Amino acid sequence: MNRLLPAWVGLVPLVLVLIVWQLAVPAASPNFPPPLAWWRSLLAMAQAGVLLPAVFETLWTFLAGLAIAIVAGFGLGVLIGTVRQVRDWSALILEFMRALPPPVVVPIAVLMMGFAPAMKLTVIAITAAWPILLNTVAGVQAVPPLLSDVGRSMHMPWHERVLRIVVPATVPALLVGVRVAVALAIVITLLIEIFTSLPGIGVLMVQGQRNYNSAQVFGLLGLVGVLAYCLTIVFALIEGLVLSRWPPRVARR
């Protein structure tokens, strides 16, 4: 928790930089507009009615893509982790896919699916599923042998062994994967918007840049930073909450 919500004194350098920036730079600076100009630019966009729909669109795309990624990544990860044959046969394919920079998926998807909303979700789901899948596979393989032996000696059928032993034991590994996936999904969501000009915060940034409206670009950069920080905190809180009650404790006899 100490690393999550650090003491406020740690914010001093950041606040100092912003204050110095505000005081030292003229308000009309073409390249480095002062922070208050960012704020005014954000307010102007909000009053024009373009900011909130863009923020909503970006957040929705991010959450929907991430949700698909979690389901698909965890499901495939459990399958690959539990069945040795699948693991061996897919090992090299996974190894190459892991080395591939996620952004290259964007042009491929645009070429094959066009500028459809489904394309956005597919790209986010595919790229964000990756860390979840790899961590789940690792988690499944790290299930203590004692647990799997218990399942076998109780002659549980395989689906019960997966549901009642493997899946619960893998949840902490899944959460680690989700943490990485959250950061990746934010990046990919913005990249799609910048690359394809589909509606969202990314497009507003590109428009600001093309119009040489530097206050708009910096303002949106700040907004994106705040959003990303809040999302990170929210997911870290969820992770902490789940882990503090995991594994579910059963009364010992």
Residue in 37, 121, 162, 231 binding other proteins, rule: CB under 8 A: 231
- Measured from the CB atom, the residue of 150 and 234 that comes closer to other proteins is 234
List the Cα angle 237/242/247 in 5-degree steps: 155
Residue in 50, 83, 171, 224 binding other proteins, rule: CB under 8 A: 224
- For every residue of the chain, DSSP letters joined together read -TTTS--GGGGHHHHHHHHHHHHHS-TT-SSS--HHHHHHHHHHHHHTT-HHHHHHHHHHHHHHHHHHHHHHHHHHHHHHHH-HHHHHHHHHHHHHHHHS-GGGHHHHHHHHH-S-HHHHHHHHHHHHHHHHHHHHHHHHHTS-HHHHHHHHHTT--HHHHIIIIIHHHHHHHHHHHHHHHHHHHHHHHHHHHHHH--SSHHHHHHHHHHTT-HHHHHHHHHHHHHHHHHHHHHHHHHHHHHHHT-SPP----
3-state DSSP of 97-124: HHHCCHHHHHHHHHHHHCCCHHHHHHHH
- Measured from the CB atom, the residue of 154 and 238 that comes closer to other proteins is 238
52 binds other proteins (CB under 8 A): no
- Measured from the CB atom, the residue of 108 and 242 that comes closer to other proteins is 108
Give the nearest distance from C-beta 190 to other proteins in angstroms: 5
Give the nearest distance from C-beta 26 to other proteins in angstroms: 17
65 binds other proteins (CB under 8 A): no
Residue in 34, 65, 131, 151 binding other proteins, rule: CB under 8 A: 131
Using CB under 8 A as the binding rule, the residues of this chain from 156 to 175 that contact other proteins are none
The residue range among 48-56, 150-158, 164-172, 181-189 that interacts with other proteins, by the rule CB under 8 A, is: 181-189
Residue in 92, 146, 250, 251 binding other proteins, rule: CB under 8 A: 92
Token pair for 204: 């507003």
19 binds other proteins (CB under 8 A): no
Give the nearest distance from C-beta 200 to other proteins in angstroms: 12
122 binds other proteins (CB under 8 A): no
Give the total of residues touching other proteins (CB under 8 A).
66
Q: Is there a contact between 215 and 37 (Cβ–Cβ < 8 Å)?
A: yes
Residues in touch with other proteins (CB under 8 A): 3-4, 6-14, 31, 85, 88-93, 95-96, 99-104, 106-108, 110-112, 131, 134-135, 137-138, 141, 176-177, 180, 183, 186-187, 190-191, 194-195, 202, 205-206, 208-209, 212, 214, 217-218, 220-221, 224-225, 228-229, 231-232
